Amino acid sequence: MTGGMDDTALLELAFDLARRAGDAIMSVRARGFATTHKSDSSPVTEADHAAEAIIAAALRAATPGIPVVAEEEIAAGHVPDRAAAFWLVDPLDGTREFVDGGTDFAVCVGLVRNGRPALGVIGVPAEAELFGGIVGQGAWMRDAAGTKPISARTVPPEGAHVVASRRHGNDAMLGAFLATRGPMARTTNVGSALKFCRVAQGVADLYPRFGRTMEWDTAAGQALLEAAGGQVRVVETGAVLAYGKPGWDNPSFYCTGRM
């Protein structure tokens, strides 16, 4: 139990908020929007702010005892106190894809307890899909056809299907890493947290990431993937990727399906 709600209720809350935020994002896209840039030169739009406002307000109302760490609030200097449990929110992961008219952008809502992801939801607004999971209980995909369980797979005999960042692939480091991982069947470049979804649903096997990421970029995806039977490890040490780190920065990591 967290904040008076059990994990099933918290997952349903996250599903609902990712869906509502996704609807807001698509409404902004339909009517047009301006793009500005933050201090780190990354783009931000009305859709980022609208989605975050929906999610953050509802989380604080439903779970007042759990701090919310949200990307745009952090960028504005609103940093909550550290706590054993906290929400990590990326309201629009893949803003560049969104701005460029692409479809691989996502809404990420994850819950961390004691440094580990506990549950998370990734919404894919352009595809009207939602992916969510509770670590230790299972993972699911929702779309117009309903809800179905998903599961990570073991690497097939022909080799791993790699999903790599569309914009942050770092080819030299990626190539060196893949050379240590056995046969590779193919590599697909995918934007945003969708890469976690592809490994979790068993259509890809390996996602290495060497570019900079923040905890709100990965918490929901790691929860989803671990719930589906996969794992997220630090490249340098092999340790499980942990949360509540100073500055919210992640080291390089890699995601796998079932081992």
Instruction: Give, as one character, the DSSP assignment of residue 181.
Output: S
**Rounded Cα gap, residues 168 and 185, in angstroms:** 21
Closest CA relative to residue 118, chosen from 104, 132, 129: 132
**Tokens standing for residue 79:** 């940093």
> In the chain, which residues fall in CATH 3.40.190.80?
160-256
DSSP 125-151: GGGTEEEEEETTTEEEEEETTEEEEE-
Give the model's pLDDT for residue 170: 60
Cα–Cα distance for residue pair 88/75, rounded to 1 Å: 14
* 8-state DSSP, 126: G
We find that the CATH architecture of domain 7-149 is 2-Layer Sandwich (3.30)
Structure tokens at 73: 């609030």
State the DSSP H helix or E strand holding residue 5, giving kind and residue range, or none if neither.
Answer: none
pLDDT at 252 (0 to 100): 94
pLDDT value, residue 33: 72
Quote the pLDDT of residue 80.
Answer: 87
Q: Report the distance separating Cα 167 and Cα 94, nearest Å.
A: 10
In this predicted structure, what is the pLDDT of residue 200? Answer: 98
Low-confidence residues of the chain: pLDDT under 70: 1-3, 39-41, 43, 166-170
- What pLDDT was estimated at residue 128? 96
> Which residue ranges does the chain devote to CATH 3.30.540.10?
7-149
**Burial classification of residue 169, based on how many CB atoms lie within 10 Å of its CB (0-12 exposed, 13-18 middle, 19 or more buried):** middle
pTM of the model: 0.93
> Which CATH number does 160-256 carry?
3.40.190.80
